[in-house]
Amino acid sequence: GDPKVCPGRAEGYAACQAASDAPVAQGLVGAGTGATIAKAFGQEYARPGGVGSCCLSLAGGVLVAALVVVNALGDVYDPETGSLLGAVLDGQPTPCLTSPALGQAGFGNTTIGVVATNAKLTREEANKLASMGHDGLAMAIRPVHTSMDGDTLFGLATGQVETPFLPVLVAGARAAALAVVQAVRHGGGTV
């Protein structure tokens, strides 16, 4: 939970050595350590963000997954229920979109991650998958992509399964949105 922790070369090497097929740890771990959300009223009102992941299975053995580190200025909403998950002021959920202090919220926010699939994609299609992942961020984080956020998503494909492209795109947006929700739930940032 310390935002001053900065991993270096040794930590990166250790992470590669420890890589496995085990499920990804979620919440305030790894790159999610110290990540926060809902900072429109200032850092003192921030809620925990963190690392989140989601994997969706499509027809024909197609998998579309997202892994995100959520350190956003905005509030987090569950896109499936519409409920506000991570914003609080004086014990009450308060959407930051109504904050008069929004313009003075400061920098140091970013949501980064990857949207990946086992489908065969061209370079351009992988780029579009990353773009659709940003749509997923917009489904879950409000506001998102502000001048105070440095949001970046990458798209990649392992090229194992031939499949129509549109369902992969739709799943990419949904996987990114649900990964944001998982980050906040596992990080303890829900109201």
Among residues 125, 145, 148, 138, the alpha carbon closest in space to that of 177 is found at: 138
Please report the beta strands in 13-62, taking only residues with DSSP state E, as ranges in sequence order.
Answer: 36-37, 47-48, 50-57
User: Bridge-partner residues for 64, per DSSP?
Assistant: 56, 117
Please report the beta strands in 74-151, taking only residues with DSSP state E, as ranges in sequence order.
Answer: 75-76, 110-119, 141-142
Cα first-last separation, the chain: 18
Residue range 184-188: mean pLDDT, rounded: 92
- Is residue 172 a contact partner of residue 67, using CB atoms and an 8 Å limit? no
Residue range 15-33: mean pLDDT, rounded: 90
Confidence (pLDDT) at 46: 87
More confident of the two residues 39 and 28: 28
Among residues 37, 47, 29, the alpha carbon closest in space to that of 71 is found at: 37
Q: Which residues contact 53 (CB under 8 A, 6 or more apart)?
A: 23, 24, 26, 65, 66, 67, 68, 179, 182
Given a cut of 90, is residue 71 above it in pLDDT? yes
Given a cut of 90, is residue 3 above it in pLDDT? no
pLDDT tens profile 140-150? 999 899 888 88
pLDDT tens profile 88-136? 665 566 666 665 555 555 667 999 999 999 999 999 999 999 999 999 9
Please report the beta strands in 5-149, taking only residues with DSSP state E, as ranges in sequence order.
Answer: 36-37, 47-48, 50-57, 63-71, 75-76, 110-119, 141-142
